[in-house]
Structure 1
């Protein structure tokens, strides 16, 4: 069986998205994980050989071609598995799934920038508050849509949002997001109990 090589980290929420998709699609045996560090201030030469942006996730296909970033890789894996399983092929269901994916990924973008800022010797208070405001606003919107998330077939939007909420737990535990979005928190309990999420929880390893 031919395998694909995934530049991987146990802490990256974007890598987790890819791994959840691979798990859900039954493709784990075809994905070889390669531990790759992608630090903003220290470009990784080995990673750059496959991705000049020095970012993860990066997927190297069987024929040597490369794909990045997580939305592209996830949709590729869905196509490899036959298509239409995590990415609805057309119509309003597709646009809703892609919209939720964009919300989840966008929330992750905010959280990662927020974490980088708070790690600075002198974080900029206005910037930290802007990140907090965007996070609260996104959680409020997702809380309103928790019922729609519950009713929709499981797909890439659920995965992206679930990974973003998992990152909130991992890096922003003191933020207490569940108190801000109780309906979303109830929905997240179901997502977090799936084997694909349990087996891809972020670790410091």
Structure 2
């Protein structure tokens, strides 16, 4: 029986991260999905209860406590199942994986920010320099992951890998012209395989 409520938007890559974790850890039946339709200029009153910044994803626990931020929720869910952990509990490996998680989230932050700049801000107020800076941030991050961390990313489908997979999926959805595969063939080959996982197929966004 579902004991938690996940505030959900199927096009949010941060929500997708949580959904992938629910699938991977066998906890999907513990959660009721509550759809929300928000933007930076359109809040949702129900979502804001216990979550004053109005952030998604947000997870309301059985006792009414609300967790928000995908990294917080994913780590919480990782400690609620009986399988192998998706994030090392201690030691240097934990800090490395947390840093890779942060880098994947930074790619998502830049991509989502670019999306809002184009889709929400009036055309005459768009800042091309801002968009260029976000694109460069994504390119630097992907190049670093390809050159320095590909073997570690490919070592298992853990929280860092899930975050990166969702980031690459979001780039495909919102910026199909970005051309990251040509520059990062190693990441492209890795993503082609992990995108076949049932958790990724079940959560794949459609425009």
Name 1:146's counterpart in structure 2: 150
Q: How many matched pairs?
A: 203
For residues 13-162 of structure 1, the aligned pairs below 5 Å read: 13-82=13-82, 85-119=85-119, 120=121, 121-122=123-124, 123-144=126-147, 145-150=149-154, 152-162=155-165
Contact 1:107 1:135 in 2 (8 A): yes
What is the distance in 2 between the residues matched to 1:24 and 1:85? 11
Which runs of no fewer than 5 residues in structure 2 stay unpaired? Answer: none
Contact 1:58 1:67 in 2 (8 A): yes
Which consecutive segments of 4 or more residues in structure 1 shift more than 3 A? none
**Structure 1 vs Structure 2 CA RMSD:** 1.4
Name 1:172's counterpart in structure 2: 175
What is the distance in 2 between the residues matched to 1:153 and 1:172? 27
1:156-193 per-residue CA deviation (whole Å, 9 max, x = no partner) reads: 00011011001000000011110111111111112111
1:52-80 per-residue CA deviation (whole Å, 9 max, x = no partner) reads: 11111000001111111111111111111
Which runs of no fewer than 5 residues in structure 1 stay unpaired? Answer: none
Q: Secondary structure at the match of 2:79?
A: helix
Range with bigger deviation, 111-120 or 26-35: 111-120
Please report how far the alpha carbon of residue 84 of structure 1 lies from its aligned counterpart in structure 2 after TM superposition.
Answer: 5.3
Please report how far the alpha carbon of residue 137 of structure 1 lies from its aligned counterpart in structure 2 after TM superposition.
Answer: 0.6
What is the distance in 2 between the residues matched to 1:199 and 1:83? 20
Structure 2 counterpart of 1:188, from 154, 167, 191: 191
1:39-98 per-residue CA deviation (whole Å, 9 max, x = no partner) reads: 110111111123111111000001111111111111111111147511111122211211
Q: Secondary structure at the match of 1:64?
A: coil
Query: So what's the TM-score if we normalise by structure 2?
Result: 0.93
Contact 2:2 2:29 in 1 (8 A): no
Contact 1:50 1:58 in 2 (8 A): no
Please report how far the alpha carbon of residue 147 of structure 1 lies from its aligned counterpart in structure 2 after TM superposition.
Answer: 2.3
Q: Secondary structure at the match of 1:173?
A: coil
Please report how far the alpha carbon of residue 118 of structure 1 lies from its aligned counterpart in structure 2 after TM superposition.
Answer: 2.4
